[in-house]
Amino acid sequence: MANTSDIKNGLCMNYNGKIVTVVEFQHVKPGKGPAFVRTKLKYVETGKVVDNTFSAGHKIDVVRVETRNYQYLYPEGEGYYFMNTESFEQVFIQNTMVDNPGFLKEGTVCTILFDADQEVPLTVELPFYIDAEVTYTEPGVKGDTATNTLKPATIDTGAEIKVPLFINIGDLIKVDTRKGEYSERIKS
């Protein structure tokens, strides 16, 4: 059992019966009254962020978590199958545990966060950037490259993102999976 002095960013703990991670924290020692810790906690299951204040010395239940690399295999029903890159063991992950499932490509190596004590998967983190091919977009018009205007495009994973006007069908682009945005065109 830990206390509030052990709180740091990324710490996983049990809060109201659910697993949360600390997104942000601040130790406060006012001139009058007892010290406290102001935190922003993110629920692992839902992604909801809540503010909470702990009094100094408050006991917290730390959850031991491990990250492991898994390769995405294929979708099935309400989830996805992933394979451990070391032991080749397969695991089924629910849709709700993947932040941006539209950017999953077969063979992509993702990081899965596990509750180490119960061997239960908690979340799936995609790589920050993926390379994708544009499968459909409206053709660009010559001379439209100077503006910051964006148009819709479908990439090979089936996701739709906004791209600059100079991007055409067949172009390879880099996509930021955290924001779901176009990052840059890949020169071939």
- What's phi and psi for 59, nearest 5 deg? -80, 135
State the average pLDDT over residues 33-41: 92
- Domains annotated for the chain, with CATH where assigned, are 2-62 (2.30.30.30), 65-125 (2.40.50.140), 129-185 (2.40.50.140)
CB < 8 Å & 24+ apart, contacts of 152-159: 153/182, 156/105, 156/132, 157/102, 157/103, 157/104, 157/105, 157/130, 157/132, 158/102, 159/100, 159/102, 159/103
Flag whether pLDDT at 95 surpasses 90.
no
Q: Quick check: 39 and 22 in contact, CB under 8 A?
A: yes
Q: Considering the entire predicted model, what is its pTM?
A: 0.76
Q: Between the CA of residue 106 and those of 23, 42, 168, what are the distances in Å?
A: 30, 29, 23
- Local confidence band at 131 (pLDDT 50, 70, 90 cut-offs): very high
State the average pLDDT over residues 5-13: 89
- Pick the range with the lowest mean pLDDT from 10-14, 85-89, 115-119: 115-119
What does the pLDDT read at residue 128?
Answer: 92
Antiparallel, parallel or unpaired: β 129-137 and 172-176: antiparallel
Tell me: the pLDDT tens digits for 176-187?
998 889 999 998
What does the pLDDT read at residue 133?
Answer: 93
What does the pLDDT read at residue 123?
Answer: 84
Which residue do the tokens 């059992």 mark?
1
- What's phi and psi for 47, nearest 5 deg? 85, 0
What does the pLDDT read at residue 47?
Answer: 78
